[in-house]
Amino acid sequence: MGGLVEQQLGVPSLLTLLSAGQYNANQLARNHAFEQDTESWAVFGQGTFNLTETVRLTLGLRYTDETKDVESSQFISDDITGLDNRTDNFFAYQIEASFFNTYLYDYDEDRDTDDWLPSANLQWDVTDDSMLYISYSEGFKSGGFTAADDGNPGGVPQATWPCTPGQTPEQCYDVTLPNDEFEFDDENVVAYEIGGKHTLLAGAMTLNWAAFYTEYDDLQTSIFQGVSFAVTNAAEAEIKGVEFDLLWQATEGLRLGLNGAWLDAEYNSYATAPCTAAQLDADPLCGQPGASDNDLSGENTTFAPEYTASAFFDYDYQLNNGMVFFSGGEVNYSDDFDTQGDLDPDDRVDDYTKVNLRFGLRSADDTWEVMAYGRNITDEEVYIYSFDVPVLVGSHAAMIDEGEVYGLRLRYNFY
């Protein structure tokens, strides 16, 4: 943190500037240890009953029991005491707490969970080429503890530092008391689905479709807290949609495919969602008891584009010399979607369409192949993920998928 800071600002390091000249370390670090032991066992049974020659019922039941024990500890260090050794410098902890929501702590927690999960599936062979089904199932994802190294201990409001110069963290707050977000609850789901599988055009075409409705209680969501990720629970979520896929062998050498989906995924109840950077700027205690909040009830969930679709073709043509010319390609479309648990509109990924193509030659016995290909040939700029930039409040960064790519591939089988 020295060098350029000293040249431009006339102080030895950024830490000196942040502490008004009271702290002259050049490096500041947090040392986080997280160890979790999980013991899980389950028993499962399933049986199929042939009610008639064309109707069958499958019933299942699963019991799961799980225990988790965790030890999570953290201390702050600097280049004065050595980055592997704890420092008790007041300003080191003040800077980490104020800018990175990072504290000294030492947690030792455990949790137990168990659940019964039934399922039922009814299938009807309407004809030899058509089957319909309806299903009901319950599931759960066990809760646990967040491994994020940023987060305030219990009783300490986020981004505040309750100590005064001369005090150690142990004198300011209970370092063994985690906050409510350290542990997250089980996720429970009830799912309904109806669908069909059909063979058409004397076997040349297959069509599969499904409509589904899913209810979540305590949906687990991943939250980027500015430096690392934590897991928290949204109270209730409802997801419903329709999807299909179609495959058609149009000619001996030409195969076409099409699939698509419509998805409606929203939080029924999520009054305690993490606050956006703009909300925290307006109210640093946003999300804390008695302060403002970010109520996302009725809003869409993350990574849930309303519409997705893709189409593809594969074509083979036998040449007179015995070689095979082949080509293929795909068009993939995704609607826009949110990537962050706070649903900050600045982190929303826009809709996009990507096109891939390939063509080449291979031997009749598939011994060798040469292929030219292009991915994302329209050079679509696709942001696959976006997030808040740590420390630089109000700034955002994004991960960009690859642009247009062209290549040549040679393959030879030695057998």
How confident is the prediction for the chain on average, in pLDDT? 89
Q: Which residues contact 23 (CB under 8 A, 6 or more apart)?
A: 15, 16, 89, 91, 92, 95
Q: What is the CATH number of the domain that holds 199?
A: 2.40.170.20
In a domain, 85, yes or no: no
Q: What is the pLDDT of residues 74-128, one digit of tens each?
A: 999 998 989 999 998 888 888 888 888 889 999 999 999 999 999 999 999 999 9
**pLDDT level of residue 4 (50, 70, 90 thresholds):** very low
Quote the pLDDT of residue 17. 65
Q: What is the pLDDT of residue 6?
A: 46
Predicted confidence band of residue 415 (pLDDT cuts 50, 70, 90) = confident
Task: Report if residue 194 sits inside a domain.
Answer: yes
Q: How many helices and strands (H and E) does the chain possess?
A: 5, 17
- Report the candidate in 306, 340, 112 with the shortest Cα–Cα distance to residue 232: 340
77 lies in some domain: no
* Amino acid of residue 264: D
Residue 351: in which H helix or E strand, if any?
A: none
N residues, the chain: 415
Write out pLDDT tens, residues 270-291.
988 888 888 888 887 787 777 8
Asked whether residue 393 carries a pLDDT value surpassing 90, the answer given is no
What is the extent of the structural domain holding 294? Answer: 187-415
Domain count, the chain: 1
Predicted TM-score (pTM) of this structure: 0.83
CA dihedral 75, 77, 82, 87 (to 10 degrees): -80
Burial track 48-64 (b if 16+ CB lie within 10 A, e otherwise) = eeeeeeeebeeeeebeb
Q: How much is the pLDDT for 226?
A: 62
396-400 vs 324-334, strand pairing mode: unpaired
pLDDT in tens, 143-191: 999 888 888 898 887 667 888 888 889 998 999 999 888 999 999 999 9
Residue 284 lies in a domain: yes
Which of 78, 76, 104, 75 minimizes the C-alpha distance to 24? 78
Asked if 101 and 153 touch (Cβ cutoff 8 Å), the reply is no
Report which of 25, 174, 15 is spatially closest to residue 103, judged by C-alpha positions.
Answer: 174
| Residue at 289 is within a domain | yes
